Homo-oligomer: A and B are copies of this chain.
Amino acid sequence: MIPFEHIITLDKTSKTPIYRQIAIGISTAIREGSLNAGMLLPGSRELAKTLHVHRKTVIAAYDELQAQDWISVVPRKQVTVSERIPLLKPQSWEKTTSQTGYHNTLELPFRQIIENTEYDTTTKIPDITIDDGYPDVRLSPIAALLKTYRSNTSRKYAIKTANTGTAQGTPKLRETLVTYLSETRGLNCTADNILITHGAQMSIYLAAQLLLDSDARIIVGQPNYPVADQVFQQTGAQLLKVNVDANGIDTDAIELICRKKKINAVYVVPHHHYPTTVTLSVERRMKLLELSKQYFFTIIEDDYDYDYHYTSSPYLPLASSGHNGNVIYIGSFSKILDPSLRMGFMIAPQNFIVQCTALRKLIDVGGDGYMQNALATLIQDGELKRHLKKAKKCYHQRRDFLDALLQEHLNPYISYTLPSGGMAIWIRLCEGYSLSRFKTSDYFHIARMDSEQNAFRFGFASLNETELTEAVLYLKSILHNT
């Protein structure tokens, strides 16, 4: 006699209907080999009695199992496991009653992206988090954005336009950016030169996939944005590191390398370099463009932080100069609106954009067309510009406020150069003080520390004056007491 009361565990509090639980229990037992092809099952009346349920519930379960070919039912005669089920090695009853879960590991070979597979399951958010340069979402024009978003989803034509060309970006947003990029960055391009991505990161990823392989070499800054380094490494390319000083990446060192080796690409962060916040000087910008023409390498210009300048206008991008089209320009709206929104763009020659778009389709089909069109409206209405003006003023004040706090409280322990823009200060600890003191706890967390440089990024834009004060006083208490 088959112990159905053990095979089928009913949970009357579950949202899964009882009849479905019965069907699942029986099909699981068949799949796991406890019930074999041709085996006789109890009649509905009998099974209902065993399980303490109504007979109609069992009939519904049998109906479903029959519809899916798990069982054969001869009405008023017998119910058997379908003959077409392949014969499986029978398993013990005990094994069947424990549900098959996903806790086990995949034992088959697969590629490892990271070595450290320690799994951070903490979801507690520290009271004080010093990020590496995030906007303050509380200032963002999200409400205006979502209002347009919502109205777009309720109108037939707006729905269609939002679902057109989302792999490259909706035509509306790309057309809008042509004007926006010309006005803000002196970039001269058409909508065909633009790809809308899920933030600057995706542009880096796409460009790297197309430009690099295991035979290629790319020059990056030292230090550099670590996630970009990881992307380049994944392609198998060789990374050549060049020093970054107060004027940005050392172009003379780049030239020396180019004389000896074939270089495929150079990755630069021209404004507020990550992590050091330095800006690439005019002299080096021009030198870099010259080198790119002379040695035939592509420049990946990651200008993620173009919009925030406090004491002068930003430098025009390399991509706005005479570059023979071999500059891939990367920008982002995530830093303006909200990092979670993940919206950025790549500007490049059309043949490159076509291939990037094709790869992007393979990765995630496309972006959120409603959000793209809502952003276009935000730009056209001047709302984005107004927001930027307001945010710039606010972040400028916060930068200066943090500067004053650092001078007052942390002067003996640190050194830094106040950046002319951006959202973070790069702070070096003085000798004798180590980053290891800033341990992550439930209360406190610093997002970006660099133990090699004994330095960290202090993102000031997302914190108001109270929060900045709290963070600095906490740092002081740690440094003072050691």
Contact = CB atoms under 8 A, between A and B. Distances in A.
B108 A286 contact: no
Interface string A102-128: 111111101111100101010101000
Interface string A291-309: 0000011100000000000
Nearest to A123: B171
A298 B109 CA distance: 9
A193 interface: yes
A16 interface: yes
Contact of A362 (B106, B163, B197, B205): B205
A184 B20 CA distance: 10
Given A100-B322, A350-B103, A88 B362 contact: no
Contact of A349 (B16, B105, B157, B342): B105
A258 to B, nearest CB: 14
A24 interface: yes
Interface residues of A, number: 139
Given A100-B321, A186-B24, A315-B68, A286 B88 contact: yes
Interface in A334-380: 338-342, 347-352, 354-355, 358-359, 361-370
Given A69-B283, A100-B188, A27 B316 contact: yes
Nearest to A373: B340
B67 A325 contact: no
A164 interface: yes
Contacts of A143: 150, 153-154
Interface in A169-212: 171, 182-184, 186-190, 192-193, 197-199, 201-202, 205, 209-211
Contacts of A287: 86
A70 B282 contact: yes
Of A143, A282, A311, the most chain B CB neighbours within 10 A belong to: A282
Contact of A201 (B85, B102, B162, B362): B362
A50 interface: no
Q: How many chain copies?
A: 2
Contacts of A67: 311-313
Nearest to A161: B125
A44 interface: no
A238 to B, nearest CB: 17
Contact of A150 (B69, B142, B187): B142
Interface stretch (A226-234, A389-397, A402-410, A452-460): A226-234
A105 B350 CA distance: 6
A396 B313 CA distance: 59
A82 interface: yes
A145 to B, nearest CB: 9
A129 interface: yes
Nearest to A203: B364
A76 interface: no
B321 A31 contact: yes
B297 A365 contact: no
Contact of A104 (B349, B366, B370): B349
Of A110, A193, A197, the most chain B CB neighbours within 10 A belong to: A110
Given A86-B287, A166-B340, A106 B298 contact: yes
A97 interface: no
Contact of A106 (B102, B129, B230, B349): B349
A117 B353 CA distance: 10
A130 to B, nearest CB: 13
Contact of A198 (B27, B100, B110, B364): B364
Nearest to A337: B153
17 contacts: A27-B282, A69-B282, A69-B283, A86-B287, A102-B347, A103-B190, A103-B193, A106-B351, A111-B210, A119-B354, A137-B159, A143-B150, A143-B154, A162-B340, A163-B340, A201-B363, A227-B365
Given A84-B283, A91-B322, A102-B350, 18 more contacts: A23-B313, A28-B186, A31-B286, A31-B289, A31-B321, A68-B312, A85-B286, A100-B322, A101-B189, A102-B319, A103-B189, A106-B298, A107-B324, A107-B326, A110-B355, A117-B354, A121-B192, A202-B363
